């Protein structure tokens, strides 16, 4: 079945043009309009013959409203620090979040890989609504283009840390990474894939990345959030089927296959997993591992009573890990005045939106 053009590379677009009775150079023109100019519809691609555009408009591809495959902006929320969260509407009436996070000399785009999420992490607003479906390649790439368009800045980094579990959508995620690198000119080292852990998928991710991308240079970030299985199951109910020891063994296999270290994410929840004993247990768990720990102070959501950790507790946790020779950093909280936690904006506005194109 025909697919949207967004997500196709130059060679595929040349073949597509020839299959539709056009010269190959029309595919190269399309590539420029898709990725450099960010065209939202074929009507904007004025270099294509008008009759050809009209013919295509009457036969939209499967899985998109038109041949380009761009989404609609439903809502925009801009925080005081410039962090911009977009709620985007899909062709089938669903909504997803993407976020542009500006910093000095860089712009990071946090993209979603699914609409909703089946992992049901208690601290995450996205998981409260369950999974609706996985995103297609064009829907992932579109998020980066939307942030570039709204913020009028070229993204420097992309993190798969939005809605959904990327390892339950491996094929589309890897194809999107290929597109971001080959067609938008990003480097794999500027991309991070975050997972809460799905049994037996990390070695598969490594092998598929080597097959599809030629190398696996993106960063793998594994969400631990606890130093032991019992506490992890309290926070991540699906973890009962994937013991933390098995997860770490799969991480070691990933490192062996790719030669890349793993980054571990650890959300600090006030009074629950942010005490000195937790830091010591985490350091012991990761002993001998080629890794880095990224501490994330919790952003509260309405559905749970978890608390944001005290700054002193965050600093003490960080220092404890450093004293035990664990590489560690603390993620700066951004957009706290604009539904910062993943899935918050979507849940707050669900069912009450018409497309808009101005900041909230």
Orientation angle between helical segments 24-31 and 10-19, nearest 10 degrees:
130
The token pair that represents 224 in the structure block: 């631990």
How far is residue 104's CA from residue 116's CA, in Å, rounded to a whole number? 31
Q: Which of 14, 97, 139, 165 is labelled catalytic?
A: 97
Instruction: Map the chain to HEC letters.
Output: CCCCCCCCCHHHHHHHHHHCCCCHHHHHHHHHHHHHCCCCCHHHCCCCCHHHHHHHHCCCCCCCCCCCCCCEEEEEEECCCCCEEEEEECCCCCEEEEEEEEECCEEEEECCCEEECCCCCCCCCHHHHCEEEECCHHHHHHHHHHHHHHHCCCCCEEEECCCCCHHHCHHHHHHHHHHHHHCCCCCHHHEEEEECCCCCCHHHHHHHHHHHHCCCCCEEEEECCCCCHHHHHHHCHHHHHCCHHHHHHHHHHHHHHHCCCEEEEEEECCCCCCCHHHHHHHHHHCCCCCEEEEEEECCCCCCCCCCCCCHHHHHHHHHHHHHCCCCEEECCCCCCCCCCCCCHHHHHHCCCCCCCCCCC
342 flagged as catalytic: yes
The token pair that represents 4 in the structure block: 């949207």
**Which of 267, 228, 219, 272 is CA-nearest to residue 247?**
228
97 flagged as catalytic: yes
Q: Which of 179, 181, 251, 342 is labelled catalytic?
A: 342
Contact 249, 223 (CB under 8 A): no
Active site residues: 97, 342
């Amino acid at each position: 079945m025909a697919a949207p053009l967004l997500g196709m590379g130059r060679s595929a677009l040349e073949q597509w043009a020839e299959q539709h009775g056009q010269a190959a150079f029309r595919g190269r023109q399309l590539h420029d309009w898709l990725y450099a100019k960010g065209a939202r519809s074929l009507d904007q691609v004025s270099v294509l013959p008008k009759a050809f555009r009209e013919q295509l408009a009457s036969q939209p591809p499967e899985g998109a409203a038109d041949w380009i495959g761009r989404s609609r902006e439903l809502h925009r929320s801009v925080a005081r620090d410039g962090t911009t969260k977009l709620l985007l509407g899909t062709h089938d009436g669903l909504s997803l979040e993407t976020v542009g996070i500006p910093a000095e000399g860089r712009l990071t785009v946090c993209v979603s890989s699914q609409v909703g999420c089946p992992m049901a992490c208690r601290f995450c607003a996205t998981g409260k609504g369950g999974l609706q479906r996985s995103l297609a390649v064009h829907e992932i790439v579109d998020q980066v283009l939307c942030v570039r368009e709204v913020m009028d800045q070229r993204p420097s980094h992309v993190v798969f840390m939005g809605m959904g579990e990327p390892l339950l959508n491996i094929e589309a995620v890897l194809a999107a990474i290929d597109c971001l690198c080959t067609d938008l000119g990003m480097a794999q080292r500027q991309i991070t894939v975050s997972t809460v852990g799905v049994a037996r998928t990390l070695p598969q991710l490594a092998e598929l990345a080597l097959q599809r991308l030629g190398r696996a240079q993106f960063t793998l970030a594994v969400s631990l959030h606890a130093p032991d299985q019992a506490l992890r199951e309290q926070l991540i109910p699906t973890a009962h089927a994937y013991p933390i020891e098995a997860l770490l063994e799969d991480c070691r296999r990933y490192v062996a296959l790719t030669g890349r270290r793993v980054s571990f994410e650890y959300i600090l929840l006030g009074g629950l997993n942010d005490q000195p004993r937790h830091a010591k247990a985490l350091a012991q768990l990761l002993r001998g591992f080629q890794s880095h720990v990224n501490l994330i102070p919790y952003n509260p959501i309405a559905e749970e009573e978890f608390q944001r950790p005290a700054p002193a507790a965050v600093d003490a946790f960080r220092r404890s890990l450093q004293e035990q020779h664990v590489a560690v950093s603390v993620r700066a909280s951004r957009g706290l005045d604009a539904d910062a936690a993943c899935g918050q904006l979507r849940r707050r506005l669900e069912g009450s939106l018409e497309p808009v194109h101005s900041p909230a």
